[in-house]
A = this chain, B = another copy of it.
Amino acid sequence: MNDSNLSKFGDVLVNFLFSAAYLGSKGLYDGFKVTNHVLMQALNNSRFKAPPRSDKHQRGDYVEALIAKAWGRLLTMDEMVSLLSDSIADADMGSRESSTDAQIRAFTVLLDEIYERASGEQLL
């Protein structure tokens, strides 16, 4: 298993998870490309430790791989979508800035749930 390919799968997964959560929460179709900035900030806010001396791109890849590994093992697709959906339910996502903030908060919640179910990073 190649970590770069795992991140590529995670990138596609993460975009779908957030788009499905947005549909579930707001009742509106849209397609989101969740950025490395969002994933890096969520990692920094979460209980996971970021890889040392990693840049934004590497932290984004790390989160994508982490969510890909957790998907189907620690949380089902529906659980992931529900967590994200619940956490943006009250969020104003009308501007790019407020949408980015809501995405960061939502992925922080998802990462912390993964952390808890994994009982720490070692299991992943």
Contacts and interface: CB of A to CB of B under 8 A. Distances in A.
Interface of A: 1-2, 5-13, 15-16, 19, 23, 28-33, 68, 77
Nearest to A23: B9
A2 to B, nearest CB: 7
Given A2-B29, A68-B29, A12 B19 contact: yes
B19 A9 contact: yes
Copies in the complex: 2
- Most chain-B CB neighbours within 10 Å: which of A7, A9, A28? A9
Nearest to A7: B31
Contacts of A32: 12
A121 to B, nearest CB: 20
A16 B64 CA distance: 13
A19 B30 contact: no
Contacts of A23: 9
Nearest to A31: B8
21 contacts: A1-B29, A2-B29, A5-B29, A5-B30, A6-B29, A8-B29, A8-B30, A8-B31, A9-B31, A10-B31, A11-B31, A12-B12, A12-B15, A12-B16, A12-B19, A12-B31, A12-B32, A13-B19, A15-B16, A29-B68, A77-B77
